[in-house]
Structure 1
Amino acid sequence: MWDPTQYTRFRDERKRPFFELLSRVDAESPSHVADLGCGTGDLTRVLSERWPQAQVVGVDSSVEMVEEARRRPASATVRFEVGDLADWRPERPLDVLVSNAALHWLPDHATLMGRLVAKLAPSAVLAFQVPANFEAPSHRLVDEARALPRFASKLAPVRRRPVETLERYEALLSDAGLSVDAWETTYLHLLPGEDAVLQWLLGTTLRPVLAALGDEEGRAFVEELRPRLRQAYPAQARGTAFLFTRRFVVARRGG
């Protein structure tokens, strides 16, 4: 379902939130670090550079992404695995667990938070960010196209990707015994190129939609969506303005 080349088309915009998240992770010398939803592994390598003494594992459910990650140079302390992000179990409790723009693909975040906490060692840090723009024009227009009679039946099983509020994440993790720092950031991206917002969505949001539709109907869906996005996000000489809100959580388990 995933296309590493399409996903990395907006590499700088996608990795910026990771560094904002990582800047709030206070961990001096962790031994075991994991990156859930590692994609092509670029940011997993950043974790190994920050903590060179740690064993770092990147986990992704996409075979294509993990194969691409394994092709790229990495330290001997880094490895990549294909695995379900909810059910994956580390070989030993983790000192740092990071997930950048991946957990929104998983359902039932109330249960998920408990599963993630169970992977942590005492005094470990859980840090994740998820998109929080599901009511933005881009996603509303995708939903409008999904509801069209031509596509609705095939796309009924493809769920939207809701996330919890900051207050809910704080409550879930505090109840599990963690201290929580949570915040939101809205980025204004100026995306280059023609149909820039469509190209952004083709790297993420539209992947399961197109996989469910197949080639011919997928192309028809894209052509249905294209003019809607052009109207909502007009291109300018300096780029297409695209507001994107992300939700961040950094939580530390008690010792």
Structure 2
Amino acid sequence: MAATSNDWDAGSYDRFRRLRLRPAMDLLAQVPTVPDGDIVDLGCGSGAAATALRKRFPNRRLIGIDRSRTMLEQAEALGIYDTMHEADIAHWAPTDPVALIFSNAVLHWLPDHGPLLRRLQSMLVAGGSLAIQMPRQLGRPSHDLIYQTAHAMFPERFDGVVPVQVAPPTVLHQMLAAFGSVTVWETEYLQHLPASQIGHPVRIFTQSTAARPVLTELDAADQSAFLTQYDAALLETYPLDRDGCALMPFRRQFAVLTKAGA
């Protein structure tokens, strides 16, 4: 296996496009009518939600924002976005306030969610909406075993390294409630992952996302050794059926803020 670059592997990520798209559609279904203004797909990736956003807001300017050049190139090829920007979303800001910031499976990569959400809501027009979805899978074997395996195999590199924690729903609600009307909820999806010839199905799912921070620190030989150990650990919690498939419960957290002042 070649060493993982710092950019996203769009092909690996899109292997589970249908499973990753469903939460985005569940989030979009709860977005209310928004006032005039641009629609921002914050952390748009390869454009998975672009078609649905365009259908929902056909006469609005649709803006895609992502820090991955590889992902942006795939999204741009769709021809759906009106404009796209390569930017770190921790520091990006629009020129003028926007009607909707839609962020699917992105903000969990960033720390300090309180200040971050406060900054994002400040970019909305009055009556505009901030809609976010974040995996909240830490504490589950699929994600915990990544760091447990890394700590055990490479303690000098990963001792004390932990991923960003996503606050529980009550805390997320408290972060947003001062800015308007808020709805927060969680959904656990039971994902049926197909068999793979190259590793455990759960590892194939997490390799392009949750495992990236570990894999980017390893060379090819260490990556191979790590993935072998991670595969073995996963079998205890996620047994394979006779066809080699696996069931993986996956918890995701959603929030929709409608900014006060309309």
Whether TM-score is above 0.5 comes out as yes
The Cα of 1:107 is off from its aligned counterpart by 0.4
The Cα of 1:28 is off from its aligned counterpart by 5.2
Q: Which has the higher helix share?
A: 1
2:112 is the alignment partner of 1:112: no
Q: Aligned pair in 2 of structure 1 residues 156, 228: CA closer, same or farther (>3 Å)?
A: same
Kindly tell me the number of residue pairs found equivalent between the two proteins: 251
- Alpha-carbon distance in structure 1 between the residues aligned to 2:201 and 2:67: 26
Q: Aligned pair in 2 of structure 1 residues 27, 78: CA closer, same or farther (>3 Å)?
A: same
- Alpha-carbon distance in structure 1 between the residues aligned to 2:161 and 2:49: 28
Counterpart of 2:240 in structure 1 is 235
1:1-255 aligned within 5 A: 1=6, 2-27=8-33, 30-70=36-76, 72-75=77-80, 78-148=82-152, 150-156=153-159, 159-175=162-178, 177-194=179-196, 195-237=200-242, 239-254=245-260, 255=262
Q: Aligned pair in 2 of structure 1 residues 152, 160: CA closer, same or farther (>3 Å)?
A: same
RMSD: 1.6
Q: After TM superposition, what 4+ stretches of structure 1 lie above 4 angstroms from structure 2?
A: none
- Whether the 8 Å contact between 2:39 and 2:61 is mirrored in structure 1 is yes
- My pick for the range that moved more, 58-67 or 240-249, is 58-67
Deviations 1:56-104 (A, max 9, x none): 111112121112212x2223x5222111111101121110111001100
Instruction: For residue 253 of structure 2, give the secondary structure of its aligned residue in structure 1.
Output: strand
The Cα of 1:39 is off from its aligned counterpart by 0.7
- Whether the 8 Å contact between 1:29 and 1:53 is mirrored in structure 2 is no
- Whether the 8 Å contact between 1:182 and 1:248 is mirrored in structure 2 is yes
User: Structure 1: 5+ residue runs without aligned partners?
Assistant: none
- Alpha-carbon distance in structure 2 between the residues aligned to 1:157 and 1:52: 47
- My pick for the range that moved more, 36-45 or 122-131, is 36-45
User: Structure 2: 5+ residue runs without aligned partners?
Assistant: 1-5
- Alpha-carbon distance in structure 2 between the residues aligned to 1:19 and 1:80: 21
Instruction: For residue 250 of structure 1, give the secondary structure of its aligned residue in structure 2.
Output: strand
Q: Aligned pair in 2 of structure 1 residues 140, 28: CA closer, same or farther (>3 Å)?
A: closer
- Alpha-carbon distance in structure 1 between the residues aligned to 2:159 and 2:40: 33
Letter in 1 for 2:205: W
Letter in 2 for 1:98: F
- Alpha-carbon distance in structure 2 between the residues aligned to 1:158 and 1:205: 14
